[in-house]
Structure 1
Amino acid sequence: MWMPFDNGATVGQPGYEGGVIVRDEEHQAGARATLERDCKHCPWSVTCGIYGWFFHTRFLGSEAESEFPTMLDGLAAILDIGSRVDDPECDSQMEAVARAIEQFVGRFP
């Protein structure tokens, strides 16, 4: 389940890409996604990742707000594989997780 990161305290603060954080969500299974506006090099950015697995930044135009929920769904689908690095089954899941991450980055370049 996605919840506001740090109880929403980061909204309105400077973000990774030099913009202002509009949404900052954390998944209880170990992921985070941050939506920024007015970034240094683009109108919008989404910085996201699954702790211990990958980190990805996407630079966008005005469609960012509509893409953000879809990206959250994509991250949650990867988490559903059981992808926590501290999971005892991590090694057996690594190939499936790597494929899912590759597909996610391809879908959200």
Structure 2
Amino acid sequence: MEWITYEDGKTIGSTGSEGGIILRDEECPDGARITLEEETHMGVPFAITCGVYGWLVHTRFIADKPTAEDAYEKMKLGLEDVIASLSTEEADVIDTAIQDFMDRYP
């Protein structure tokens, strides 16, 4: 799936949902968004907030930048799995995909 910079990069450097500075912000036109912030209001150095529109919103807090960057890329792939499950229109398949995502990226 394709990921593009959200709002042509206009959000980079602005304040994100966790009160941090947005470092990366991407959207999958198929229905998801993921954002990496630094210096969150929770006092944790990095936060990754992501969602599948209408189905899932999830935030992870991470202590260091290399781990956050790695998690960001892996979570994009996980979000793609959730998006793919939506095409089945079967609630149990979608619920399982969402739960698997949450279990992999607590």
2:81 corresponds in structure 1 to: 77
Amino acid at match of 2:63: G
Q: Aligned pair 1:64/2:61, yes or no?
A: no
5+ residue gaps, structure 2: none
In 2, Cα distance between the equivalents of 1:55 and 1:34?
Answer: 11
TM (normalized to structure 1)?
A: 0.89
The whole-number CA distance in structure 2 between the counterparts of 1:53 and 1:80 is 13
Whole-angstrom CA distance in 1 between matches of 2:8 and 2:94:
29
1:80 partner SS: helix
Amino acid at match of 1:98: D
For 2:103, the aligned partner's letter is: G
Letter in 1 for 2:50: C
Could you say which residue in structure 2 is the equivalent of 1:100?
97
The 2-side partners of 1:95 and 1:9 are apart by: 37
Secondary structure (helix, strand or coil) at the match of 2:97 reads helix
In structure 2, the residue matched to 1:3 is 4
* TM-score, reference length from structure 2: 0.91
Question: 2: CA distance between counterparts of 1:106 and 1:77?
Answer: 13
Distance apart, 1:43 and its partner CA: 0.5
CA deviations 1:34-62 (Å, max 9, x no partner) are 10011111100011010010101111111
Count of paired positions: 102
How many percent identity over aligned positions? 39
In the alignment, structure 1 segments of 5+ residues that lack a partner are none
Q: Which runs of 4+ in 1 moved over 4 A?
A: none
